[in-house]
Amino acid sequence: MKQSELVFVPYTARGHIASMLEFANLLLARDHRLSITVLIMKFPLHPNLAAYADSLAKSFLTERIHFIDITQSVTFTAETNYMVCLDLFIEKHKPHVKTAVSELIRSNRRGTSLAGFVVDLAFTTLVDVANEFGVPTYAFWSSTASWLGLNLHLQALQDEKYHGDLTELKNGVLASASRAELIVPGFVNPVPASVVPSVVFDKEASDVIMNCARRLRLTKGIVVNTFMELESHAIGSIFPCGESPPVYSVGPLLNLTGDGADAFSLDGTTDDQIINWLDDQPPLSVIFLCFGSMGSFGVDQLKEIGSALERTGFRFLWCIRHSFLSDNYVDPKQVLPEGFLDRTAKIGKVINWAPQVAVLSHPAVGGFVSHCGWNSLLESLWFGVPVATWPLFAEQQLNAFEMVRELELAVEIKIDYKWGFGTESVLVSAQEIEIGIRRVMEGDQSDIRKSVKEMSEKSRKAVMEGGSSYSSLGRFICNVFDNFQ
């Protein structure tokens, strides 16, 4: 019986590595012929993520998965473009990936044969390394099928129409009408240019992204953290004419144990303290505000949020991270309206980090103000908690647009808010925030709550035996062994 080894290469950003390792878990549980080696490369621009990656690695108890840290020191001296830095980072590590895999083959500790690489969406240039070993590459796409489709669509436009420069697309779109929109195959509605990720229209960054998309087409399969019942239109539009590679929707892939999340806690608040506080609240009474491992706001915006919460009168659990660039704990008293903590002591709790899965699963939580990271949205759907959208960066605006306009599974605070690294963002007023919170918490949005509950049931059925994602995972495993030489 063939025993095969897959080499996983995740990007250690929390939204990427957590779902990719859940995929590894699924594979190991589903087929005992598979073993996995995970090559860890810790990107230096993310504080706390190194500890998070280490914590996740320690949570695996099976001997069929092995973690190797091959992180090399990389200094970005003159380069400030995030995507270019990431590209330089992976290029620096390619020889070390090759060395690690060569040693894996030479030692053959587990008596397995190399069956292929599974690489993060940002690392598809590693297809070159896989080719040197004569094995296939599979891409892991941690975001939406719609964002995958948009990437491939834009890459085709760049190559066939815009001669390698997507800034021409931006200029054309913005000049064409007062309301700039794109027609994209994976979306039912025209996509506002304001929700397209900013990196698409940055020449240096888009060159990196489009090169990754180009390499996606060279893989033997693309695994997507979504499920057919949620994104059927987007999934069907990626390769509508049956082109390769095949797409496998295997989600939702969720870290429901919360392993590793304590790496982000700075204020000493324990999970038990948070859950005990929620236990004292009535069902569906709490609005939960959390903006991810990198989401943060300036003092002026935090004051607007605080004012909105007071005006609604709802019970709240609010996770504040004043600056993602700093590991230092920020005292809420220094950044919130004067007297806010005293006035809201009986109805609210302000924390530095939350065990998000445990919070969303709690019956007291009735709504979620979210940055619209894809993992967070999938978790909210899994637990049937409606979302008020407030995206910050990356593809989060596109996620918000899809949830609010395409799928009608969320309400809007903002869908096109863009938080910049070192740049000023437009201040969202307390009134706007209050309206969004009321819409997600109060009865006039009962249809949203009902739709989210229905999608929750579908998400759970998708991963059960006979479900759409369960079947898709089986097809992926068949692909691996069909390509196994």
Catalytic residue among 16, 153, 322, 362: 16
Buried b (16+ CB within 10 A) or exposed e, 302-326: bbbbbbbbbebebbbbbbbbbebee
User: In this structure, what are the phi and psi dihedrals at residue 273, rounded to the nearest 5 degrees?
Assistant: -65, -40
Query: What amino acid occupies position 370?
Result: S
Does 165 participate in catalysis according to the annotation?
A: no
Looking at the DSSP assignment, which residues form a beta bridge with residue 67?
38
Residue 204, judged by CB atoms within 10 A of its CB (0-12, 13-18, 19+), counts as middle
Would you call 69 helix, strand, or coil by DSSP?
strand
* Nearest partner of 421 among 80, 167, 178, judged by Cα: 80
Q: Which distant-in-sequence residues (6+ apart) come within 8 Å of 411 by Cβ?
A: 386, 387, 388, 389, 404, 436, 439, 440, 445, 448
Catalytic residue among 87, 120, 207, 259: 120
Does 233 participate in catalysis according to the annotation?
A: no
* Enclosing H/E stretch for 276: helix 271-279
* Enclosing H/E stretch for 119: strand 113-120
Cα dihedral sign, 287-353-74-215: negative
Could you give the residue numbers annotated as active site? Answer: 16, 120
